[in-house]
Amino acid sequence: MKQTAQRLFLETLSAIQIPTALARKLNREGSVIHAAGAMIDLREFREIVALAFGKASFAMAKALSDNLAPEFQVKGILVGPASPPGALPGWKSFVGGHPIPSAESFAAGRAILDRLGRSDDRTLIFFLISGGGSAMVEQPLDENITLGDFQKLHHALVTCGAPIEEINVIRKHLSATKGGRMATAAPRSLKITFAISDVPEGQESALASGPTVPDPTTSQDAERIARHYGLLAKLPASLHASFERHALSETPKGDDPAFGRSHFELLLGTHDLTHACHHACEAEGFICLADNSTDSWPLEKAANHLLAQLDALKNENPGRRVALLAGGEVSSPVTGEGIGGRNLAFVLACVPKIAGKKIVVLSAGTDGIDGNSPAAGAVADGETLPRAREAGMEPAEFLGRSDAYNFFKRLGDTIVTGPTGNNLRDLRILLAY
């Protein structure tokens, strides 16, 4: 049954294809596209510029270029987590850092802001955004802030246990590339944003820290979040001072004229992810239910809730195999120096809870990478706990030192896909049989 769960995960990845989604959303007929609620004639523009950044940047950039070719050529900037796997004529590429920004992240940020600054009312700009963009493209608002300062900031943010939407509130108020500021850098241009979301539904302004949409958060929100998670003491002096002096710069809001020619549309989101997995489960004969209510919950609370839901679903369908699906992320603060991420930690937390039961739990990232591990996630069943103890391993010990990867690696239960070129929310699959 663990193999079944892994097959369901891989089938889901295959079903969420970026080129298909972009062609559907772009809806091109000759020189006219119908995108994000607007009808646009490409012949009216002297140039088409595309800025693609995030873990799915290459697939999105190639899909756009292929869709518009050969009649319309795209010139763009591509920022991804690795060198592009293929050539894209007309594109300049950067390898951005993730989850900590690198020198290339800063160089990419400068290049993008410079390109936006050279755009006018006859420039059509496509923003192709996916998760990971917050770290891969970076430029501080204050030119005196160094790369080292921002690296310390990002490290503190990604290890504090805050959900991504709160992490990005702070990023927005310190960065020149976030919180709507890319849109305001090209105020006269027509801007179309296509996004693949790895943030909670309805909170798309948190995706890659919302570079092209009005920001609903305030500098007071950023200060509150920093205090709540004890971040101030972890920040370098140059950034700490901005919080202490209440000197954070406010982000652009919806009344900024730059947003009058700006449109946003999701290519793929959590619904697409769970819908694809739901279809795969039903094809395998499972009674299936999706419950995305645990998004951003603490790990232990999410595990207890989803296992209770699974039990209820099984009791309602005696003699049938059942599946419970959950998209989104769980909150899992780093408490040790081990190797792992929130998906591996979620499955590890479930191991004692499902011991001896006919239950399988899988949790994995759709980008193929979980935390600082080389795995996407892991899978466990009712036999995992006795197998671990036979090997001299206790789940609580590995969980306490944030070393879930090595726990599952020794058991042969990691899920390794390599980078997928996509990046929606995490997916959890719970099976009872």
Please identify, among 220, 252, 268, the residue that sits at the C-terminal boundary of a domain. Answer: 268
Q: Which domain holds residue 280?
A: 271-432
pLDDT in tens, 183-195: 999 999 999 999 9
Residue 9 lies in a domain: no
User: Does 229 reside within a domain?
Assistant: yes
**Does 21 reside within a domain?**
no
Same domain, 53 and 40: yes
Which residues lie closer than 8 Å to 171 by C-beta, 6 or more apart? 134, 154, 157, 178, 179, 209
Q: Are 259 and 289 found together in one domain? A: no
- Gyration radius of the chain's alpha carbons: 22
In a domain, 18, yes or no: no
Same domain, 290 and 411: yes
Is 397 inside any structural domain?
yes
Number of structural domains (the chain) is 2
Name, in order, each residue with C-beta under 8 angstroms of 152's C-beta and a sequence gap of 6 or more.
Answer: 234, 235, 236, 239
Please report which confidence band the pLDDT of residue 165 belongs to, taking 50, 70 and 90 as the band edges. Answer: confident
Q: Is 362 within the bounds of a domain?
A: yes
Residue 26 in any domain: the answer is no
Whether the pLDDT of residue 142 is over 80: the answer is yes
Predicted pLDDT at 200? 75
Dihedral (CA of 15, 20, 25, 27) sign: negative
What integer pLDDT is reported at residue 280 of this predicted model?
98
- Is the same domain home to 285 and 259? no
pLDDT the model gives residue 105: 98
Mark which of 268, 301, 333 sits at the end of a domain.
268
Query: Is residue 66 domain-shared with residue 199, that is, in the same domain?
Result: yes
Tokens encoding 122? 């006859």
Residue 90 has pLDDT above 80, yes or no: yes
Mean pLDDT of 289-316: 96
Rounded to two decimals, the pTM is 0.84
Whether 53 and 72 map to the same domain: the answer is yes
Task: Give CA separation, 333 vs 50, 77, 364, 405, 420, in Å.
Answer: 36, 34, 17, 15, 25
- Domain shared by 232 and 101, yes or no: yes
Specify whether 256 is located in the same domain as 404.
no
> What integer best gives the mean pLDDT of the chain?
95
> Are 75 and 117 part of one and the same domain?
yes
Assign residue 149 the CATH number of its domain.
Answer: 3.40.50.10180
Q: How confident is the model at residue 412, as a pLDDT?
A: 98
pLDDT tens for 304-347 read: 999 999 999 999 999 999 999 999 999 898 899 999 999 999 99
- Going across the sheet that includes 47-53, the strands are 91-95, 75-80, 47-53, 123-130, 190-196, 262-268
**129 plus 253 within the same structural domain:** yes
Q: For position 372, which CATH number holds?
A: 3.40.1480.10
- Write out pLDDT tens, residues 178-224: 999 999 999 999 999 999 988 777 788 888 999 999 999 999 999 99
* Domain-located, residue 278: yes
What does the pLDDT look like over 367-400, one tens digit per residue?
A: 999 999 999 999 999 999 999 999 999 999 999 9
The pLDDT-based confidence of 164 (bands split at 50, 70, 90) is: confident
280 and 394 together in one domain: yes
Give the angle subtended at the CA of 368 by the CAs of 77 and 420, to the nearest 5°.
50
| Per-residue confidence band for 32, with pLDDT thresholds at 50, 70 and 90 | very high
Question: d(Cα 426, Cα 433) in Å, to the nearest integer?
Answer: 23
Claim to verify: residue 262 and residue 352 sit in the same structural domain: no
Q: Which of 268, 301, 326 is the last residue of a domain?
A: 268
Say what the pLDDT of residue 344 is.
98
